Amino acid sequence: MDVDILFKIAAIGIVISILSKVLDEAGRKEQAQLTTLAGVVIVLMMVIQLVNQLFSSVKTLFQLY
């Protein structure tokens, strides 16, 4: 596993956290929640791709299908 992906996820988390805090302090709570939700979706999509690669590697390793 690359360490790069961990740094990307951490960077996304930090940026989304700061952006959400700024929007929340500006009185735009709905937009802050949507920003947080968008960050979660982006990270989940990255994790789903990693899980897909893992399953493909396991399938290749054990010569399934």
Domain ranges of the chain: 3-61
Contact (CB, 8 A) for 13 and 40: no
Q: Rounded distance, CA 33 to CA 54, Å?
A: 31
Q: How confident is the model at residue 1 (pLDDT cuts 50, 70, 90)?
A: low
pLDDT given for residue 22 in this prediction:
96
| Tens of pLDDT, residues 28-50 | 999 999 999 999 999 999 999 99
| pTM for this predicted structure | 0.80
Q: Rounded distance, CA 48 to CA 43, Å?
A: 9
Question: Can you spell out the DSSP letters for the chain?
Answer: --HHHHHHHHHHHHHHHHHHHHHHHTT-HHHHHHHHHHHHHHHHHHHHHHHHHHHHHHHHHTT--
